[in-house]
Amino acid sequence: MKNHVRKGGWSQQRYERRRDKQLHLYTKEVVDVLREMHREAPLSYVFMVGSRETLQAIYNHVPEKVRHLVHERPYDLKTDAGIIRKDLFEMYRKAREETADELFERIRNEVFRSGLAAIGPREVLDAARLGQAETAVVARHSKAPGYRCTRCDALEFEPMATCKEHGKVFEVDMIEEIIEHLKMTNAEVLVANDIPELREAGGIAALLRYRL
């Protein structure tokens, strides 16, 4: 009986050492990938799900410059994958909303400080055309009427029957047009759910890289 207990204890110790080694190797692999990804292109968010032990081990080794980007949620290993995917999307949505709120606060401060901000569809469109916009925030469901020429693609805010240069124009949503311009210049676009001041300003604002 004594020998049986001793052997059982040794088996348990060997199992724990093997598990700790596997967790260490897995943690190193994940952290190395995160470090490389952040080096190639700065990360905006990091979402992690898994057992509490695994999440803690990874978080403890994540580089300081990435740690504040981490959003994590522990799960039982038997949790359905569909539930995890749904919760991950919700984590992402909430993180984006929080970031959008923080961005608009930065834009407000820039308006009164250095002026590296554009507020409203007209200002943001001008900045997007010049490649000045770095990050923009858009109020969800915002719209602004505008007009595009069928031939030259010229955009105008004012209603007009024909383009001065070519001919007919058709109505467009200027917010969507501005977003397309922003994406073409690699500006990030965040969507905000409820910022009354942003809606009152026309539904869109941007932080600028520079001002001419």
* Cβ-contact 117, 111 below 8 angstroms: yes
Mean per-residue pLDDT, 171-181: 93
In angstroms, the CA 158 to CA 187 distance is 26
Which CATH code fits 116-208? 3.30.1330.30
Residue 6: pLDDT band with limits 50, 70, 90: low
What does pTM read for this prediction?
A: 0.62
In angstroms, the CA 109 to CA 176 distance is 26
* Cβ-contact 51, 77 below 8 angstroms: yes
In angstroms, the CA 38 to CA 44 distance is 9
Residue 3 has pLDDT above 60, yes or no: no
In angstroms, the CA 189 to CA 44 distance is 12
Please name the amino acid found at residue 4.
H
- Domain borders along the chain are 2-79, 116-208
Joined together, the tokens standing for residue 33 give: 């990938």
**Residue 117: predicted pLDDT:** 93
- Per the model's pLDDT, the better-predicted residue between 28 and 193 turns out to be 28
What end-to-end distance do the CA atoms of the chain give, in Å?
A: 85
Residue 9: pLDDT band with limits 50, 70, 90: low
Q: Could you report the per-residue pLDDT of 66-77, keeping only the tens digit for each?
A: 888 888 888 887
Residue 10: pLDDT band with limits 50, 70, 90: low
In angstroms, the CA 108 to CA 101 distance is 11
Q: Could you report the per-residue pLDDT of 100-110, keeping only the tens digit for each?
A: 888 898 898 88
Residue 5 has pLDDT above 60, yes or no: no
Residue 177 has pLDDT above 90, yes or no: yes
| Mean of all residue pLDDT scores within the chain | 84
Cβ burial, residue 169 (10 Å; 0-12/13-18/19+): buried
